[in-house]
A = this chain, B = another copy of it.
Amino acid sequence: MDTKEKILEVALRQFNELGTDAVTVRSIAQEVGISHGNLCYHFANTDAIILALYQKIVGEMDEQTSIALAPSSELELLLRIGERGFRILYRYKFLMLDFVRIMRRIPQIQTAYRELMKFRQQQFLQLFQNMVAKGWFIPDPVPHHYENLAERMLVNSDSWIPHAEIHFEGTPEEAIRHYYRIYISELLPLLTEKGQKLYEELFSQALHSEKEG
C-alpha cells in the first residue's frame, strides 16, 4: 500500500479516537512505522492531513449522492442519502467533533464547506417541494415551514455526532441508527396518508438491506 494512504488511514483512526489535539506528526509517524521527518515529506503538517481527509469525505459523499440519484422516488432518495450519509460522516467523525476549530484553522475547508451547505440546503428545499407536489407531504402547515425544516435538518446532520459522543451509550452502529431515526422522525407528521404508506414500506426495506449489507 502507498505510504501516503497508510498515513491517511492511521491519521483518521487517531483523529477519531484521540481527537485532533492529541494527534501529532510524530504520533502518526510512529504508528505508521516511519520517521516523522518522512511524514513531513509527504504532508507538511497535520493540517495538510486534515485537508486531505476532508477532500476524501467530500469525494465519498459525492459518490454516494450520485448513486442515490438512481432511484426514481424522492422519498427513497431522502432516505438513502441520509442513511448512507450518516455512516460516512461517522467514519470521519473527528471532522464533526470539532469542526469549528478545524475550519478556523484551515480556511480552505471553511470556504468549501459553506458553499456545500448552501447547495445542500437548496437541494433539501427542492426535494421537499417535489414531495409536496407529488402528494407525499402536506403543503406548508405554516408559512416557510419547509424552509425552516431544511435548515434545521442541515444543522441536525452536523451535530448528532458530537451529541452522541457525549451522551450516547452504545455501539457506533446503534448510535447511527438511533440518531438517524430521531433525525428522520421529524418528517413523519408531514406525510400525507399516501406518503406515510410509501414511507413505511421504504423505511423497513432500507433497515432490512442495512442489516444484510
Residue of B nearest to A191 (CB): B142
Q: Closest B-chain residue to A103, C-beta based?
A: B166
Q: How far is the CB of A8 from chain B (nearest CB, A)?
A: 22
Report how far A167 CA is from B145 CA in the complex, Å.
20
Q: Which stretch in A32-40, A93-101, A127-135 binds the other chain?
A: A93-101
A162 to B162, CA, bound (A): 11
CB-contact partner of A181 in B148, B149, B189, under 8 A: B148
CB distance from A96 to the nearest CB of B (A): 9
Q: Which residues of B contact A100 (CB under 8 A)?
A: 19, 97-98, 162, 165-166
- With an 8 A cutoff between CB atoms, is A207 at the interface? no
- Contact residues of A between 146 and 186, Cβ < 8 Å to B: 148-149, 151-152, 154-156, 158-160, 162-163, 165-167, 181-183, 185-186
A213 within 8 Å of B (CB atoms): no
A211 within 8 A of B: no
- The A contact surface, by secondary structure, is helix
Q: Is the CB of B98 within 8 A of A141?
A: no
**What is the total number of copies of this protein in its complex?**
2
A49 at the interface (CB under 8 A from B): no
Q: Contact mask A11-25 → B, CB, 8 Å, 1/0?
A: 000000001010000
Which residues of B lie under 8 Å from residue A110 when comparing CB positions?
166
Q: Which of B114, B142, B148, B149 is in CB contact (< 8 Å) with A167?
A: B114
- Whether A188 is near chain B, meaning CB under 8 Å from some CB there, is yes
In the complex, what's the smallest C-beta–C-beta distance from A117 to chain B, in angstroms?
6
- Are B186 and A101 in contact, CB atoms less than 8 angstroms apart? no
Known: A19-B101, A114-B166, A162-B100. A186 touches B152 (CB 8 A): yes
Spell out A's residues near B (CB within 8 Å).
19, 21, 97-101, 103-104, 110, 113-114, 117, 141-142, 144-145, 148-149, 151-152, 154-156, 158-160, 162-163, 165-167, 181-183, 185-186, 188-190
